[in-house]
A and B are shown apart, each in its own frame.
Chain A
Amino acid sequence: MMTALGPRWGAALVLTTAVLAGCGSASVEKVGPKVKAERVEGVGLVRAGSTAQLADCSDWRRGTVEQRRVTIASIRDQMTPQRSATAETGLSDDAAYRIFAKTCASGIADTLRLYKIYARAQPFAAFAAETPAADG
């Protein structure tokens, strides 16, 4: 028979949340104001006023810093729930920039969609970025 989670689980959850929240907020403070997706075009092909849908790593490499930041803002908006006006991502724009820069630096990532990378990185990137390499 299944059992309910005990207090230990609650402590673990609090810790995990603190890990993520702490890293995320620290990064946000280092970043300038968030860029609105609609101001300028991001990298890649535009659909519905945004490049979030189709932008990939090769687009990223061709873009300017400003275009990349616009792209991140656009993806950030797309990747939060549609039913909530207050939902926010735990991934700062700076952290997202680092993730894209790292992943897209590899030639084998040319065609990976940025929003799919973002979705994967969203929960953990801030923590991972400040963690020593896993193999020491």
Chain B
Amino acid sequence: MRIEPARSSRRRLLSALMVTALGVLAFPATAGAHLERPSYWPDPASDTSISPAAGGAVPVARSLESAVNHEGPGKVLVVCQGARGATSLAALNVSMHTAQTRGVQVRPSQPAIRMTGLEARNLRQINRTLARRCTYDSVQQAVFDAGNNDRILIMPGLYEEPLSRSKPTNDPKCTPSLLQRDASGSLAPSYKYQVTCPNDQNLIYVQGRAVVGDALSVPQSNRQGIPAQELGPCVRCNLQIEGTGPRPEDVIMDAGKDYQGTGRRAKPGGYAKDVVLKVDRADGFVGRNFVVRGAREHGFYVEETDGVLLDRTKFFWNRDYGHLSFTSDHSRVQNCEGFGSGDAVIYPGATPETGSQATSFYPDAPRANTVITNCDLHGSALGYSGSMGNAVRITRNHIYGNTTAISSDTLSAAGHPGFPADSSEIDRNFIYSNNLNLYVDDPPVDPLVPVPVGTGILYPGMNDALVHHNWIFDNWRDGAMLFTVPDDFVSGGGAEGDIFPGISCPGAPANRISTSCGNQFFANKMGRAPNGFRFPSDVGMFGNRHAHNDARPQKPNGNDFWWGEFFDNLATGNCWYGNTGVDGTAASVTGPGEAGRLPASAPQVLPSDCATSVGNNDGAKLTYLIDCSNGPDTDTGPTDCDWWSTPAQPGSAAAADAARNRSAAAGSAGTEALWQRVAALIP
């Protein structure tokens, strides 16, 4: 017999179900985080036990010229290939010719810049000098011999590190004796494990601090500060690792094998190590002018480190993340490029609470603890992602040709302190043509995580974010999506670490709703490219579909803004204002009213007033989102999830047909069946 709840009961059910569904929705949207030892945020103050002090700020890179002029501090260790660097110098000459004739292109979206004759002579002379001083043919061996303030200069070449590759994985010297058991009983390699068996997982490992004691048997709930009992003095702080060619591609640190084809952008057919370059508790680290390629998991991985600068670095074909930063502070990644990641090119996870939830541990808060700028992130499942990505600023990047461009979420997977994620800022970026469908047979990039094809920004459970002054166009599903993650559904048993109460959502954490409040989307240009804009050639990489590369600025998104909405009696502070749409006016922004992406029940609200913003419980969206939680499939009903295929190009007849098919979703039989199920469970 059909159960017909009274209207008030239905409203209550709807609220309950919305909580459930929205929580569920968060999960397919997240980057899936990663598994790691219990990690702590480093002391944000500089460490003055060495001179110059380490950490406390983003480090400043030292010039290449200073390395050959004997300007300190620290010693210079040179890595090269061939007798007295002959092979490296030969490679340098080839690259120099290219740099002078065709130019150096650090990012595909930017023009190549030709090297002048004077610049070429200087760089050639520096490399000749370095070749005479070269004593290493292995980056790892140079790192082992390095100390605080030292520099490692890598001359052009492909560095496969055969000695590191020969080291066993799951080395019995460290497994299981140096595994660390957390309170829930699961095991992870401890810091001491990494130090003792540095090439078990990593091609190149940088140990930043001495080992002085064992890890705590039960991790501290407060993750502010690495426990003193295991925090040794600096042994490789203020280390700089730098390639010496004119292009980042001249120095490749490579953990891949069995390459399909040749060239710097070739795809590996297998992996020798999980991580190419891991930087661990090494405050004040600078990496510049190189490529990390071919990791089974992560290309560059930095953990529990205060002060990191990556400049002119590239991340190619790293299977999980090109760049993974975890519980690290004062970090900046600039002038970078990455592609070929099955999760994200760049992932700053569990970043410090320097935003809305800052405590006295961060006396200079609020501030961004991580900045990603002037990068091209493309050709991956995600350009950027970050679970518990607190106070990360993403600015002035080009993010294109991915399945989803950006996802920053609240997902309290094991070891991700910082719940709930807050204070993300996404500004002045170009986010376009993210329509790469990897959920097909024999995909060009192996997807490790399910995310919606055709999406610009995805915020599952973010607070106090500012999304502004971006150009967001030609994403065939949605320009930006926002939904909540109720506390009860963030990892079994609750959030990781302490939750600082009452900051981001009204009544939190007592009311169990701590996420998706106070987010503002303003001054964005939606569905429209800048005048004179042309796609970079890599926008079509891996068969990514995109609008015509013509001078017309109109390049619509499938829908500009999508909000999962909230409860009609809860003020959320989420608001959208001052944005313009495909014709350059506010009126053409899609999302509110009947123009929003279906399935959905009218009216689709998109409040412009932050102070009075409330949701409008939407059963059709709910039904659709529940289906999305089931992962990739090929079902095509009106309320079935369609995240796993490329949406029809906006404005096409196929897009109009799809909208008509979904218009019947509100009040469908499926929605009613769901109601019955929930009603039957009422005590």
Contact = CB atoms under 8 A, between A and B. Distances in A.
A84 B183 contact: yes
Contacts, number: 286
A78 B35 contact: yes
Given A120-B24, A132-B673, 9 more contacts: A12-B15, A13-B512, A15-B678, A15-B682, A19-B20, A47-B169, A79-B491, A81-B183, A81-B496
B415 A82 contact: yes
Interface stretch (B26-34, B109-117, B282-290, B355-363): B26-34
Contact of A5 (B30, B274, B511, B669): B511
Nearest to B673: A132
Interface string B646-683: 00000000000000000000001111111001100111
B627 interface: yes
Interface in A77-136: 77-91, 99, 102-103, 106-113, 115-117, 119-124, 127-128, 130-136
Interface of A: 1-6, 8-13, 15-20, 22, 37, 46-50, 52-54, 56, 74, 76-91, 99, 102-103, 106-113, 115-117, 119-124, 127-128, 130-136
B38 interface: yes
B184 interface: yes
B296 A19 contact: no
7 contacts: A48-B189, A85-B183, A108-B632, A117-B450, A122-B489, A124-B24, A136-B670
Instruction: Name the 5 nearest CB pairs between A and B, nearest first.
Output: A87-B493, A120-B27, A135-B637, A116-B32, A89-B492
A49 B175 contact: yes
Most buried by A among B27, B170, B414, B415: B414
B679 to A, nearest CB: 10
Given A48-B189, A106-B632, A117-B631, A136 B673 contact: yes
A128 B35 CA distance: 26
Interface in B172-199: 175-176, 179, 182-189
A134 B621 CA distance: 12
Contacts of A130: 677
A1 B611 contact: yes
A119 B29 CA distance: 11
Contact of A78 (B27, B412, B414): B414
Contacts of B375: none
Given A85-B185, A123-B23, A132-B670, A19 B681 contact: yes
B506 A5 contact: yes
B12 A12 contact: yes
A18 to B, nearest CB: 6
Interface string B149-185: 0000000000000000000011000011001001111
A127 B17 CA distance: 11
Contacts of A78: 35, 186, 414
A28 to B, nearest CB: 13
Contacts of A110: 446
B73 to A, nearest CB: 37
Contact of A112 (B35, B187, B447, B678): B447
A79 B492 contact: yes
Contacts of A19: 16, 20, 678, 681
Contact of B511 (A4, A111, A124, A127): A4
Nearest to A103: B631
Contacts of B644: 108
Contacts of B189: 47-48
Contact of A82 (B219, B274, B447): B219
A52 B448 CA distance: 14
B681 A87 contact: no
Nearest to B493: A87
A57 B571 CA distance: 41
Contact of A111 (B342, B491, B572, B629): B342
Contact of B186 (A82, A103, A108, A135): A82
A22 B681 contact: yes
B179 A48 contact: yes
A55 B383 CA distance: 23
B169 to A, nearest CB: 8
B448 A111 contact: yes
A54 B632 CA distance: 19
Contacts of B169: 47
B441 interface: yes
Contacts of B27: 119-124
A82 B449 contact: no
A52 B33 CA distance: 13
A132 B20 CA distance: 16
A109 B438 CA distance: 10
Nearest to B21: A124
Contacts of B19: 12-13, 16
B640 interface: yes
A110 to B, nearest CB: 8
Nearest to A56: B448
A85 B184 CA distance: 4
B411 interface: yes
A3 B677 contact: no
Nearest to B612: A1
B25 to A, nearest CB: 9
B448 A116 contact: yes
Contacts of A132: 670, 673-674, 677
A21 B537 CA distance: 51
Contacts of B15: 8-9, 12
B71 interface: no
Contacts of A16: 16-17, 19-20, 486, 488
B450 A83 contact: no
Nearest to A129: B630
A83 B677 contact: no
Given A83-B221, A120-B629, A122-B491, A4 B184 contact: no
B413 A79 contact: yes
